[in-house]
């Protein structure tokens, strides 16, 4: 099934949401409305109230929170840029005010064209009395005069609208803040009749939809629905946001072989019904606003046709858990863990590996309950090929259960202990960031930064996320070059800020572990693998021992500042020439070992290093470069040292 057909189905199954206010599921901000057919949205500045007979009553400037308005449109007006094409009901003063030119309007008046279009609607069998009231009033041609008289607009001594406010700032009329650039002549106007808002009346929506569809002349077979119906000649824009001018379907280029060479006309390439494209684009716009993920020009959208909650596939394990609080908490057995106040989220998150795993499993089971074998989930990636063209970079449809299987496998195979996330909390009226520790796969955006740097180019970041999406949602093999790039940057931690070095190393370990599981069918864990005799793994453990021995000596002498150890300084050389670099590290480690021996302190790290060196066969103890497995050996051995230190500190505290 194609994208447009899936979007059309989504619209049909969510008709109850048409015209209703919508908010983003992730941010809580205002999101696009699921629009009626032949309608769009517009920021409106002024609202005029009329009597049933078309008599002017009053008008006022619309509050900023109430400016977004559902308005009727034609194919031409919905796609207008600089062309003079009127909307059928709600529009700018240039179109609806008969006294526009006399009151200082600088553009070509389109009042006559507007009235002709509105009159055709009112005279049709679909016309409504409240719309006819608007027509009777606007035919008088006194709109701007009435708006000035009631204070909605401001005119100068010559009776013309002021182009800008020159009086005291504190006395600035509301209209100048409402209109872009402060130009009153650019104000949009909507209407009320006998107190009823026409922009919110389903009867008005239905009236115009049926009228406009009756005027469409081009009829043919819709490629999506497979039946004959009025066809669309222009496709809507504003798909990703209100300012988006890029279109999914466009054929206005008849000279540069957009479709020429294969088809004689654009209709031969694609024929789509007007109702179909209106509903499909409206559903797509609605879904992106509610649950899409934006990365610059790139948009990633995952949705179910039945409007089921779907997990965040571009987030890490922590994102999945916190998203489940909003998506599933009321439906899960055992009560909800979601905090009443978002600022308390850090307290609601588990602080141990086992507790986080339990909450992660709970979230997964909740999503599985919603996404059964019969659920269909669509995954879409959009990007701007040019400012006016949208490209579908990736599209896939999956069973809900298969998506969950692949997502769980991703977080299992690429799971590692991650410590770089923080959560904003508020205590005693002050905001502070609380560090969080959790186990799971890193987010694709973080993987891109680990492989290419914290200041990765936006386009390269988008391309990396796009490459990773099939690995997450379809279980495809992981790109080896991304894994190796992250390992190389982790090895060069001496050149990074401490926070970035730690973050890069943990993400690189996750990628190495997952790559060997998925691409090579080898299993490695976060725990130290004592029985692993891989050459690179052992050399990695040896490097951790050298670092630990030097750090122990530095702590003994009070030199535990930010000065890097020799092991960290030579790590890059160590990965390329391990035997030669190890000999250098052993020589530089001698004074540190002497310091420990003189103080009567343990030299366990050095003793372990010698035992590990002895485990490497003589024919493998050479300068052949290490594989990425050295990083797992290093990280796991370091974690084992920390675990032993924590256990020792706990024992000492208990004895005291």
For 112-150, the DSSP string reads HHHHHHHHHHHHSTT--HHHHHHHHHHTT--HHHHHHHT
Q: Is 502 left (phi over 0), alpha (psi -120 to 50) or beta?
A: alpha
Contact, 303 vs 384, CB < 8 A? no
Share of the chain above pLDDT 90, in %: 66
What single-letter DSSP state applies at residue 476? P
Non-local CB neighbours of 467 within 8 Å, separated by 6+ positions: 479, 482
In this predicted structure, what is the pLDDT of residue 333? Answer: 43
Per the prediction, the chain carries an average pLDDT of 89
Is pLDDT at 164 greater than 90 in this prediction?
A: no
d(CA 99, CA 101) in angstroms, rounded, equals 6
pLDDT tens-digit series, residues 339-365: 555 445 555 666 677 888 888 999 999
The string of pLDDT tens digits covering residues 287-334 is: 999 999 988 889 999 999 888 899 999 999 999 998 888 887 655 444
Q: Pick from 298, 296, 292, 295: which is nearest to 310 by CA?
A: 292
Closest CA to 443 of 420, 423, 460: 420
Give the distance from CA 268 to its chain's centroid. Answer: 35
563 versus 521: the higher-pLDDT residue is 521
Predicted pLDDT at 1: 56
A 10 A CB-CB count for 197 gives: 15
Q: What is the pLDDT of residues 593-632, one digit of tens each?
A: 999 999 888 899 999 999 999 999 999 999 999 999 999 9
- d(C-alpha 436, C-alpha 438), whole Å: 7
pLDDT (average), residues 629-640: 96
Q: 76-90, 299-313, 523-537: which has the highest mean pLDDT?
A: 523-537
State the pLDDT at residue 560.
59
Of 235 and 310, the structure prediction assigns the larger pLDDT to 310
Q: Is the Cβ–Cβ distance between 355 and 397 less than 8 Å?
A: no
When mean pLDDT is compared across 145-149, 236-240, 248-252, 319-323, the lowest value belongs to 248-252
- The pLDDT tens digits of the residues spanning 552-591 come to 998 887 765 567 899 999 999 999 999 999 999 999 999 9
Residue 434's pLDDT is what?
79
The residues, ordered by sequence, that sit 6+ positions from 8 with a Cβ below 8 Å of its Cβ are 224, 225, 276, 279, 280, 283
Mean pLDDT, rounded, for 178-202: 93
pLDDT for position 600: 87
Distance CA 393, CA 435 (A): 35
Q: What is the mean pLDDT of residues 523-530?
A: 94
Asked if 206 and 250 count as a contact pair (C-beta separation under 8 A), the reply is no
Output the pLDDT for position 113: 94
**Range with lowest mean pLDDT among 231-240, 394-403, 493-502, 629-638:** 231-240
Residue 335 has pLDDT above 60, yes or no: no
pLDDT at 344: 52
Q: Residue 304: beta bridge partners?
A: 377
- Which residue has better confidence, 268 or 445? 445
Instruction: Determine contact, residues 439/417, Cβ cutoff 8 Å.
Output: yes
Distance, in Å, from the CA atom of 106 to the CA atom of 247, rounded to the nearest integer, reads 31
Region of poorest pLDDT, from 195-199, 371-375, 445-449: 371-375
Under a CB-based contact definition with an 8 Å cutoff, are residues 566 and 553 in contact?
no
pLDDT of residue 280: 94
> What pLDDT score does 568 carry?
93
Going from the C-alpha of 606 to that of each of 544, 561, 573, 586, 642, the distances in angstroms are 10, 22, 21, 9, 16
Please state, in angstroms and rounded to a whole number, the distance separating the CA atoms of residues 633 and 543: 9
Other Cβ atoms closer than 10 A to 328: 20
Mean pLDDT score, 186-208: 96
């Amino acid at each position: 099934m194609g994208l447009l057909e899936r979007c059309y189905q989504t619209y049909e199954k969510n008709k109850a949401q048409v015209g209703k206010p919508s908010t983003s599921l992730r941010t809580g901000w205002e999101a696009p409305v699921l629009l009626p057919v032949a309608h769009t949205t517009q920021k409106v500045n002024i609202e005029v109230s009329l009597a049933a007979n078309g008599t002017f009553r009053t008008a006022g400037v619309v509050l900023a929170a109430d400016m977004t308005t559902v308005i009727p449109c034609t194919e031409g007006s919905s796609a207008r840029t600089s062309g003079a094409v009127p909307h059928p009901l709600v529009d700018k003063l240039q179109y609806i005010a008969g006294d526009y030119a006399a009151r200082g309007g600088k553009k070509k008046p389109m009042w006559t064209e507007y009235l002709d279009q509105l009159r055709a609607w009112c005279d049709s069998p679909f016309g409504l009395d409240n719309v006819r009231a608007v027509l009777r009033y606007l035919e008088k041609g006194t709109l701007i005069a009435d708006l000035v008289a009631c204070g909605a607009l401001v005119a100068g001594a010559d009776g013309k609208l002021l182009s800008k406010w020159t009086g005291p700032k504190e006395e600035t009329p509301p209209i100048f803040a409402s209109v872009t650039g402060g130009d009153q002549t650019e104000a949009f106007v909507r209407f009320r009749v006998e107190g009823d808002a026409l922009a919110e009346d389903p009867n008005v929506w239905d009236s115009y939809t049926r009228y406009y569809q009756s005027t469409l002349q081009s009829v043919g077979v819709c490629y999506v629905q497979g039946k004959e119906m009025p066809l669309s000649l222009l496709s809507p824009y504003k798909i990703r946001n209100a300012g988006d001018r890029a279109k999914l379907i466009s054929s206005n280029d008849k000279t540069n072989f957009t479709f020429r060479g294969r088809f004689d006309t654009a209709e031969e390439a694609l024929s789509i019904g007007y109702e179909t494209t209106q509903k499909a684009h409206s559903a797509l716009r609605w879904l992106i606003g509610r649950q899409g993920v934006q990365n610059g020009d790139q948009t990633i959208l995952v949705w179910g046709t039945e409007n089921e909650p779907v997990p965040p596939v571009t987030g890490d394990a922590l994102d999945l858990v916190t998203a489940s609080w909003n998506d599933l908490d009321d439906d899960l057995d055992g009560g909800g863990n979601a905090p009443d106040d978002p600022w308390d989220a850090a307290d609601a998150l588990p602080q141990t590996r086992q507790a986080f795993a339990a909450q992660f499993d709970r979230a997964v089971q909740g999503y599985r309950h919603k996404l059964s074998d019969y659920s269909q989930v669509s995954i879409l990636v959009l990007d701007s090929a040019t400012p006016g063209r949208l490209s579908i970079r990736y599209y896939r449809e999956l069973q809900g259960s298969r998506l969950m299987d692949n997502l769980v496998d991703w977080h299992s195979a690429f799971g590692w202990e991650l410590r770089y996330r923080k959560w904003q909390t508020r205590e005693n009226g002050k905001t502070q960031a609380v560090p969080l520790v959790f186990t799971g796969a890193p987010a694709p955006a973080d993987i891109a930064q680990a492989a290419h740097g914290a200041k990765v180019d936006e386009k390269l970041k988008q391309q990396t996320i796009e490459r990773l999406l099939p690995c997450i949602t379809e279980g495809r093999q992981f790109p080896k070059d991304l894994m190796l790039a992250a390992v190389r940057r982790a090895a060069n931690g001496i050149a990074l800020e401490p926070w970035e070095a730690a973050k890069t190393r943990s993400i690189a370990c996750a990628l190495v572990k997952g790559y060997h599981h998925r691409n090579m069918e080898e299993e490695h864990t976060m725990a130290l693998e004592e029985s692993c005799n891989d050459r690179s793994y052992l050399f990695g453990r040896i490097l951790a021992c050298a670092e630990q021995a030097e750090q122990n000596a530095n702590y003994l002498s009070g030199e535990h500042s930010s000065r890097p150890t020799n092991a960290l300084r030579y790590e890059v050389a160590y990965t390329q020439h391990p035997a030669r670099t190890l000999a250098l590290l052993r020589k530089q480690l001698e004074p540190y070992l002497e310091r420990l021996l003189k103080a009567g302190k343990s030299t366990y790290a050095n003793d372990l290093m010698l035992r590990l060196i002895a485990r490497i066969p003589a024919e493998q103890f050479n300068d052949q470069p290490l594989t990425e497995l050295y990083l797992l050996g290093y990280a796991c051995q370091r974690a084992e040292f920390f675990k032993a230190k924590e256990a020792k500190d706990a024992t000492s505290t208990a004895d005291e």
